Structure 1
Amino acid sequence: MSDGAAKVSNVVKLLSASAAGICGTLVCYPLDVLRLNMQVSGEMGKKRKSVTTLEFAREIVKRDGFLGLYQGLSASVGRQGLYTGTRLGLYQILTDKYSENNTIGYLEKILIGCVSGAIGAIVGLPPDVILTRMAVDNRLPVNERRNYKHVFDGFRRIYVDEGILTLYRGAVPTICRAVVVNVSQVVSYFEAKHFLLRNGIVSSDNSICQLSASLISSAVATTCTLPVDITKTRIQNMGKEEGGVQYKNMVDVWYKIIRYEGIFALWKGFTPLFVRNAPQFIVTFITYEKFIHFFSKLGG
């Protein structure tokens, strides 16, 4: 658990997690835009020449200018405030609660990670749908673009034009992804930190310890989450086609990706996601730890 977390209130834990998530996304958002654009490229056998992360970045800047790398930032801030605030804050709350009088085991931590991740996904899903659409909007033909002004405009227009259930489109892959993310990211972070301290690799729970644990966590999370992440992205971005929707469910997305693009396309966007995850995890976790430490000194 975070040093000093037991001394602060549950509200502080949730708010600290939200603030940390927002700080992380402000630092690394352009890489998220690259990842989303890479994941929707090549759909249904559509061929393209640009395949590398650098080529995608050049394409976006050429087409939309440098600010094109920040498309959908307001939605990302809203998503992180709700999603990371819930999944990280709730994980801390539950682990603190169940470890008060008992030693909490690894399996219990995984279960708590699954529960807090799933709840975080549900809470943060509406801005996540808007984020996906805003980040890749300029890839669409001009007459098909949504042109959301900001996250609140996205909420309003989706609710009016498509119905409230559209804000929860891709719920199953999003929840599955969040469960995988929370276990592979949050659980691995705290376990890595505990391992480093227990074995004397670092002397104390300081910034070096937190940075090292964040890097380990980013490597684990990137590998585990990409196949589910690309499924979520494709479903949230899809439009209506003659005879129905483009994808029926998660399995259908995986089938079509493997059929048209090859099995390794399930890890498309690995480079920007890993490069994004490492600094974002570092900023998020260290910021979170600092917030918790600060408020614990104030009496939480």
Structure 2
Amino acid sequence: MTAGGDNRSLRNDSDVKKILLTSFSAMIAETTTFPIDLIKTRLQLHGESLPSTRQASAFRIVFQIAKDDGIFGLYRGLSPAAVRHLFYTPIRIVGYEHLRNFVPSSDNSPSLFSKAVMGGISGVIAQNNK
């Protein structure tokens, strides 16, 4: 095997590890923050519904969900969100790293503007792969 082949193999192994770790960490983050996001969404919906005599609070919403659906009701709908992050986040993050290698820069650090453009491009690519 040639040195170029070894280098490509190492790079592919590194990319696979990055993709797996990014997917895993994104799903852990989604699992951790999902109940908070659910509560936030319910609070927003409560604010748009008919005026209520009782003020909505995060605690009331948590207790209502736990009463109606059990404590695991806070995780209802987690599966689609986790699957989304299984693909979206690694494409965005690893894609950004690959784009960074194509941008010429001084002292090996792209400018803030270049980083913003690369982040936007990788985000658009990830969004279009859903």
TM over 0.5: yes
**Alpha-carbon distance in 2 for matches of 1:56, 1:99:** 51
Task: Specify the alignment match of 2:124 in structure 1.
Answer: 118
Instruction: Flag structure 2 segments of 5+ consecutive residues without an equivalent.
Output: 1-9
Task: Specify the alignment match of 1:46 in structure 2.
Answer: 50
**Alpha-carbon distance in 1 for matches of 2:73, 2:50:** 23
**Alpha-carbon distance in 2 for matches of 1:106, 1:100:** 11
Q: Could you tell which deviates more after superposition, 97-106 or 53-62? A: 97-106
Equivalent of 2:23 in 8, 13, 18: 18
Which secondary structure state, in structure 2, belongs to the residue aligned with residue 90 of structure 1? helix
* Greater radius of gyration (CA): 2
Question: What is the count of residue pairs matched by the alignment?
Answer: 117
Q: Does 1:59 align with 2:64?
A: yes
Identity %: 26
Equivalent of 2:114 in 98, 101, 108: 108
Which secondary structure state, in structure 1, belongs to the residue aligned with residue 129 of structure 2? helix
Q: Does 1:98 align with 2:118?
A: no
* Aligned residues of 2:99 and 2:118 also touching (Cα < 8 A): yes
**Alpha-carbon distance in 2 for matches of 1:120, 1:41:** 32
> Taking structure 1 as reference, are residues 114 and 22 closer, same or farther at Cα in structure 2, changes over 3 Å only?
same
Q: CA RMSD for the aligned pairs?
A: 2.5
**Alpha-carbon distance in 2 for matches of 1:118, 1:94:** 13
* Aligned residues of 1:17 and 1:86 also touching (Cα < 8 A): no
Which secondary structure state, in structure 2, belongs to the residue aligned with residue 98 of structure 1? coil
* Aligned residues of 1:30 and 1:69 also touching (Cα < 8 A): yes
Amino acid at match of 1:56: I
* Aligned residues of 2:38 and 2:74 also touching (Cα < 8 A): yes
> Taking structure 1 as reference, are residues 55 and 84 closer, same or farther at Cα in structure 2, changes over 3 Å only?
same
**Alpha-carbon distance in 2 for matches of 1:67, 1:110:** 38
1:71 to partner: Cα distance: 0.3
**Alpha-carbon distance in 1 for matches of 2:23, 2:104:** 23
**Alpha-carbon distance in 1 for matches of 2:104, 2:28:** 29
Amino acid at match of 2:51: K
**Alpha-carbon distance in 2 for matches of 1:116, 1:18:** 16
Instruction: Flag structure 1 segments of 5+ consecutive residues without an equivalent.
Output: 1-6, 125-300
1:67 to partner: Cα distance: 1.1
* Aligned residues of 1:14 and 1:90 also touching (Cα < 8 A): no
Superposition map of 1:150-299 within 5 A? none
> Taking structure 1 as reference, are residues 89 and 41 closer, same or farther at Cα in structure 2, changes over 3 Å only?
farther
* Aligned residues of 2:92 and 2:122 also touching (Cα < 8 A): yes
1:41 to partner: Cα distance: 2.6
**TM-score in terms of structure 1 length:** 0.35
**Alpha-carbon distance in 1 for matches of 2:126, 2:44:** 23
* Aligned residues of 1:50 and 1:56 also touching (Cα < 8 A): no
**Alpha-carbon distance in 2 for matches of 1:98, 1:116:** 14
Deviation per CA, 1:145-186, whole angstroms, max 9, x where unpaired?
A: xxxxxxxxxxxxxxxxxxxxxxxxxxxxxxxxxxxxxxxxxx
